[in-house]
Every structure is written in C-alpha cells, then in structure tokens.
Amino acid sequence: DAKTTQPNSMESNEEEPVHLPCNHSTISGTDYIHWYRQLPSQGPEYVIHGLTSNVNNRMASLAIAEDRKSSTLILHRATLRDAAVYYCILREPFYNNNDMRFGAGTRLTVKP
C-alpha cells in the first residue's frame, strides 16, 4: 500500500495562508490524492482530491508536484474554524485495494 508522510503539527495565524505538506514517494500512476480534515469531536470530512493537476474548490487548493511524490494543501486564509487534524490519503483503483487508510495526520492550530 502506498503511504503518506505528514508533519505531526503546524501552527498558523488567523487570516494568513497555510500550506500543509504531504509526501507520498511510493505513489503509483493511478492513485488519487485525497485530503480530509477532522474538526474536534466530529467525524472526518472531505476537503479535496486530485490526480496530477492542481485543484481548487471553495474550501482549499491542492498543489501536486510534477513527479507526484508530494502535494500541498493550501488554505488561503485560515480561520479559527480551520483548526483540525488534516489527513492526506492515497486511494488506489478499484482493481487494487481501493481502501483508504488515514494515518496520524497533521494537527493544525490557528492562533487569533
């Protein structure tokens, strides 16, 4: 199974951009990169996913390195509500395991 590596924790100031890194050096060509976050006392929620090209949605942007061995989740203006654990996950195709393994994630602290 392809694995990801994330820093245990990061801090940010409110209203500043946040770049959350993820390394996935063993990624295969058909694996998608998914990001989820878990707010305190809640279940995880989907943030964004991508394959090769950078992706944007209303929550965040995903920047994927050209060799796909790393990616960065970008929160353009952090708010206190963005304080959460952020998980970077690789999802294999249906004909492989297709499961999603979360790992420990990065705990983001946002300071006012």
* Stretch touching other proteins by CB under 8 A, among 12-20, 36-44, 52-60, 69-77: 36-44
Dist. CA 73–CA 49, nearest whole Å: 10
Q: x/- contact string, 53-82, with other proteins (CB under 8 A)?
A: ------------------------------
- Least spacing, CB of residue 31 vs other proteins, in Å: 7
* Stretch touching other proteins by CB under 8 A, among 18-26, 46-54, 58-66, 75-83: 46-54
Which residue type occupies 89?
A: I
Kindly report the number of other CB atoms within 10 A of residue 16's CB atom. Answer: 12
Which residue type occupies 79?
A: T
- Least spacing, CB of residue 20 vs other proteins, in Å: 15
Closest CA to 45 of 57, 55, 53: 57
86 part of the interface to other proteins, by CB under 8 A: no
Dist. CA 3–CA 5, nearest whole Å: 7
Restricting to residues 93-112, which ones interact with other proteins according to CB under 8 A?
Answer: 93-94, 97-105
Helix (H, G, I), strand (E, B), or coil: what is residue 45?
Answer: strand
Residues 6, 19: contact at Cβ < 8 Å?
Answer: no
Binding site for other proteins (CB under 8 A): 30-32, 34, 36, 42-46, 49, 51, 85, 87, 91-94, 97-105
